[in-house]
Amino acid sequence: MKNRRIGLILILISIIFLTVTVIFKLQINNLVDALMIETGGTCIQEGKCIHEQSNLPVYIGIAVVFINLALGLFFIFFERSQEQTEKIHSDVVNALKETKKKQDSEERFEILLKALNEEEKKVIKAVKEQDGIEQSTLRYRADLSKTKLSYVLSDLEKKGLIKKVSEGKKNKIYLKNAF
């Protein structure tokens, strides 16, 4: 917001300075015309034309106006690009944090799997894919018998990796730790 304010102030100064320059040029033209009338209609004095001599301050004034105007526009648009850059930077940082969080979670899960036997790995992977999976569905996904699955689930419950929630005649299996 500060850059935009500075830019608007510079543009306002440019407009004021342009108005002053135009008024200055009109005054100089009036003086040159009055001087020509006094001297008898000739505009050459001391070997130089009075009209050419009077244009130099006007050219300098117009140059200053355009420099101020360009600088003001730069400040106005620079703030917008700065805001966009900050937003993009924030989005990238957030995306990197999310990616890092997912990667850390996957690494922890892979480390956990290394400590388990094959049946436990199948069960944990299936529960991770569908948290809250019914025990009957889990049996088919893990390709285990009812007895073996029950044994594996009780071992995983003892290790604190899953929790079994009874809902009527069905059991739903959830991961205790979010991986």
170, β-bridge pairs: 167
Whether residues 130 and 103 fall in one domain: no
The answer for residues whose C-beta is within 8 angstroms of residue 44's C-beta and 6 or more apart is 50
Which of the listed residues 107, 133, 153 is the one where a domain comes to its end? 107
Residues 44 and 98 in one domain: yes
* The pLDDT of residue 67 is above 90: yes
Mean of the pLDDT values across residues 7-24?
A: 90
How many structural domains comprise the chain?
A: 2
Residue 16, pLDDT above cutoff 90: yes
3-state secondary structure of 170: strand
Are 42 and 98 contained in the same domain? yes
Note the pTM of the prediction, 2 decimals: 0.47
Mean pLDDT of 131-137: 89
pLDDT value of position 25: 85
Q: Same structural domain for residues 75 and 152?
A: no
Residue 160: which CATH number? 1.10.10.10
**Among the three residues 49, 81, 107, which one is the final residue of a domain in this structure?**
107
Owning domain of residue 70: 2-107
Q: What is the average pLDDT across 1-24? A: 87
What pLDDT does 24 receive?
87
CA distances from 130 to 59, 82, 83, 158 (A): 76, 44, 41, 21
Comparison of pLDDT for 159 and 84, the residue scoring more: 159
What are the pLDDT digits (tens) for 79-101? Answer: 666 677 888 889 899 999 999 98
pLDDT, tens only, 96-115: 999 998 888 888 888 888 88
